[in-house]
């Protein structure tokens, strides 16, 4: 029987199997940030345990940092303490750290790939559910809790039950104006916010193969929003070209050797998945969410449904009430006051280019506040080198410094209560972008057009 891509990578990392069906899984790279690591460092200290493989760890602050004036001391005392604690822990324990101002600093899921830390066939974890992003390279990457962060620190391993496998195949050609974000919002709207729970997903098909690495990352990033622990895409020439020459990627002969291995990473023809879904790329249109979980998404031109699948009507109506929407309502024409472009889902250079390309020579609507937060220092530097900062500034967009920012409202970048925000981030949960904030998830293109129009529109009418 053939093996799936997931099986190949997982099985190669099993150190030991124990009763009850749990595997001791070896972890190749461990990314840490300021919010979910301090208690883990503390745990090790209390038990008098050293870091087992500190050279396999990389740290950066991203969740709880300001996106303005990063060269100045952090104003919020608790945030400062948390970021300082990461610095102190890394310094004491000898962990590689890219702190504020460092040219490699950024959102942990943006810097891993851009530095060549994320490689096909690797197992990677981080105390953050969007670790699924790295699966775009054919790595097994998933989010973990802080107890598990401590376990990996102490042993470079985790005790895990092997998830079931799911393949989602999308064949065909995406229509104009349909981006990777629309693809994943469409998939989640079909599978629901719990449809992937218990599974590890592989995305396949001609529409996926045609995507850039950054677009593939957007798709894998949101696997967790349907409950799946992670998402993967088989590495191909697009992947290898992306990796080549990156800071920590294998070089020269090592790269060639790695290539031989990476080329074995695909699902065998006869491999059997526990679940399979097939979609046509042509059926996907620009998407937007209307509710308080990412499964509550519609094509931008569709009306809010009357109910949600088999879910409880009570929960559905509570969600709509929070959003200030009615069943059956159209979102077209809805006035929007906030636009947020950023997060580990959509803050890479291609996302910034899409926005800049659209807003060039245009101006955001007067009543809209439009914030664009690059995913990393490298993205920020690249954007400036291409003059995107000038284009964005001329269009009235505020370009910030890198961080998670208004995706989760941990720092001061928040959306006011009751206000609508069209956001390129990954979660539209109640209060996610600030208490009472109403988030509508969409692609960077939809976000850019919304900022210019000041309301939700059928974007196809605005494309050349």
Binders of other proteins among residues 232 to 291 (CB under 8 A) are 250, 258, 261
Task: Tell me whether residue 223 or residue 450 sits nearer to other proteins (CB atom).
Answer: 223
- Residue 439 as a binder of other proteins (CB under 8 A): the answer is no
In the complex, what is the shortest distance from the CB of residue 286 to other proteins, in angstroms, rounded to a whole number?
24
Contact range with other proteins by CB under 8 A, out of 212-220, 332-340, 382-390, 426-434: 426-434
Q: Which residues contact 199 (CB under 8 A, 6 or more apart)?
A: 163, 164, 165, 166, 227, 228, 229, 274, 275
Q: Which of 66, 112, 409, 444 binds other proteins (CB under 8 A)?
A: 409
Q: What is the total count of residues that contact other proteins (CB under 8 A)?
A: 79
Contact range with other proteins by CB under 8 A, out of 311-319, 351-359, 376-384, 443-451: 311-319
Q: How far is CA 43 from CA 49, 87, 92, 94, in A?
A: 9, 17, 15, 17
CB 169 within 8 A of CB 276: yes
- Residue 20 as a binder of other proteins (CB under 8 A): the answer is yes
Task: Tell me whether residue 16 or residue 363 sits nearer to other proteins (CB atom).
Answer: 16
Q: How far is CA 411 from CA 186, 225, 408, in A?
A: 30, 22, 8
Q: Which of 64, 118, 423, 443 binds other proteins (CB under 8 A)?
A: 64
- Residue 355 as a binder of other proteins (CB under 8 A): the answer is no
In the complex, what is the shortest distance from the CB of residue 130 to other proteins, in angstroms, rounded to a whole number?
9
Task: Tell me whether residue 158 or residue 323 sits nearer to other proteins (CB atom).
Answer: 158
In the complex, what is the shortest distance from the CB of residue 39 to other proteins, in angstroms, rounded to a whole number?
5
The residues pairing with 30 across neighbouring beta strands, listed in sequence order, are 57, 125
- Residue 334 as a binder of other proteins (CB under 8 A): the answer is no
In the complex, what is the shortest distance from the CB of residue 364 to other proteins, in angstroms, rounded to a whole number?
27
Q: Which residues contact 350 (CB under 8 A, 6 or more apart)?
A: 212, 214, 215
Residues 38-57 that bind other proteins (CB under 8 A): 38-39, 42-43, 47, 49, 52
In the complex, what is the shortest distance from the CB of residue 431 to other proteins, in angstroms, rounded to a whole number?
5
- Residue 13 as a binder of other proteins (CB under 8 A): the answer is yes
CA angle 316, 133, 225 (to 5 degrees): 10
Residues 440-459 that bind other proteins (CB under 8 A): none
In the complex, what is the shortest distance from the CB of residue 374 to other proteins, in angstroms, rounded to a whole number?
20
Q: Which of 59, 110, 141, 144 binds other proteins (CB under 8 A)?
A: 144
In the complex, what is the shortest distance from the CB of residue 79 to other proteins, in angstroms, rounded to a whole number?
6
Residues 147-186 that bind other proteins (CB under 8 A): 147-148, 150-151, 154-159, 161, 163
CA distance 315 to 319: 6
DSSP track, 249-261: S--HHHHHHHHHH
Enumerate helices (H) and strands (E) in the chain, giving the number of each.
15, 19
> What beta strand segments (E) does 27-71 contain?
29-32, 57-59
Closest CA to 181 of 359, 3, 447: 447
Contact range with other proteins by CB under 8 A, out of 103-111, 146-154, 206-214, 379-387: 146-154
Q: Which residues contact 58 (CB under 8 A, 6 or more apart)?
A: 29, 30, 31, 32, 95, 96, 97, 98, 111, 112, 115, 117
Torsion angles phi and psi, residue 113, rounded to 5: -65, -45
Residues 193-232 that bind other proteins (CB under 8 A): 193-194, 197-198, 224, 227, 229
Closest CA to 328 of 320, 340, 336: 320
Closest CA to 377 of 4, 70, 32: 70
CA distance 383 to 333: 31
Q: How far is CA 176 from CA 66, 180, 285, 459, 463, in A?
A: 36, 12, 9, 10, 8
Task: Tell me whether residue 117 or residue 383 sits nearer to other proteins (CB atom).
Answer: 117
- Angle, helix 349-359 to helix 377-385, in steps of 10 degrees: 40
In the complex, what is the shortest distance from the CB of residue 367 to other proteins, in angstroms, rounded to a whole number?
23
- Residue 431 as a binder of other proteins (CB under 8 A): the answer is yes
In the complex, what is the shortest distance from the CB of residue 307 to other proteins, in angstroms, rounded to a whole number?
13
- Residue 145 as a binder of other proteins (CB under 8 A): the answer is yes
Residues 71-130 that bind other proteins (CB under 8 A): 76, 78-79, 81-82, 85, 119, 121-122, 127-129
In the complex, what is the shortest distance from the CB of residue 210 to other proteins, in angstroms, rounded to a whole number?
27
CA distance 99 to 65: 10
Q: Which of 26, 104, 340, 420 binds other proteins (CB under 8 A)?
A: 26
Residue 294: both structure tokens together: 């990412």
């Amino acid at each position: 029987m053939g093996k799936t891509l997931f099986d190949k990578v997982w099985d190669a990392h099993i150190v030991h199997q124990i009763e009850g069906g749990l595997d001791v899984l070896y972890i190749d790279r461990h990314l840490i940030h300021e919010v979910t690591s301090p208690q883990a460092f503390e745990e090790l200290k209390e038990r008098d345990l050293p870091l087992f493989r500190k050279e396999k760890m990389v740290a950066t602050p991203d969740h709880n940092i300001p996106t303005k004036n990063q060269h100045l001391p952090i104003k919020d005392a608790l945030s400062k303490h948390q970021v300082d604690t990461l610095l102190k822990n890394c310094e004491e324990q000898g962990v590689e750290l890219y702190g504020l101002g460092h040219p490699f600093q950024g959102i942990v899921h943006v810097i891993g790939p851009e530095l060549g830390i994320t490689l096909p066939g690797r197992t990677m974890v981080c105390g953050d559910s969007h670790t699924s992003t790295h699966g775009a390279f054919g790595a097994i990457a998933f989010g973990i809790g802080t107890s598990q962060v401590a376990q990996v620190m102490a042993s470079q391993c985790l005790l895990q039950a092997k998830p079931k496998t799911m393949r989602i195949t999308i064949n065909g050609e995406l229509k104009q104006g349909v981006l990777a974000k629309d693809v994943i919002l469409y998939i989640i709207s079909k599978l629901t916010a719990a449809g992937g729970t218990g599974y590890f997903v592989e995305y396949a098909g001609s529409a996926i193969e045609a995507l850039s690495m950054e677009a593939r990352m957007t798709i894998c990033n949101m696997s967790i929003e349907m409950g799946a622990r992670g998402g993967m895409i088989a590495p191909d020439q697009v992947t290898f070209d992306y990796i080549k020459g990156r800071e920590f990627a294998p070089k020269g002969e090592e790269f060639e050797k790695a290539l031989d291995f990476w080329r074995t990473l695909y699902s065998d023809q006869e491999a059997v998945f526990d679940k399979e879904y097939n979609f046509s790329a042509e059926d996907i249109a620009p998407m937007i969410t209307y509710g308080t979980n990412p499964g509550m998404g519609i094509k931008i031109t569709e009306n809010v449904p009357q109910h949600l699948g088999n879910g409880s009507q009570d929960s559905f109506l509570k969600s709509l009430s929070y959003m200030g929407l009615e069943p059956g309502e159209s979102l077209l024409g809805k006035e929007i006051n906030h636009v947020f472009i950023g997060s580990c889902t959509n803050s890479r250079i291609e996302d910034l280019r899409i926005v800049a390309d659209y807003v060039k020579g245009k101006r955001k609507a007067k009543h809209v506040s439009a914030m664009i937060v690059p995913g990393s220092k490298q993205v920020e530097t690249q954007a400036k080198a291409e003059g995107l900062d000038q284009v964005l500034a001329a269009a009235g967009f505020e370009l910030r410094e890198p961080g998670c920012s208004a995706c989760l409202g941990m720092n001061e970048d928040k959306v006011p209560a009751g206000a609508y925000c069209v956001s390129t981030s990954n979660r539209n949960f109640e209060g996610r972008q600030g208490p009472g904030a109403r988030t509508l998830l969409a692609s960077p293109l939809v976000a850019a057009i919304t900022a210019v129009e000041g309301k939700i529109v059928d974007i196809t009418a605005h494309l050349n």
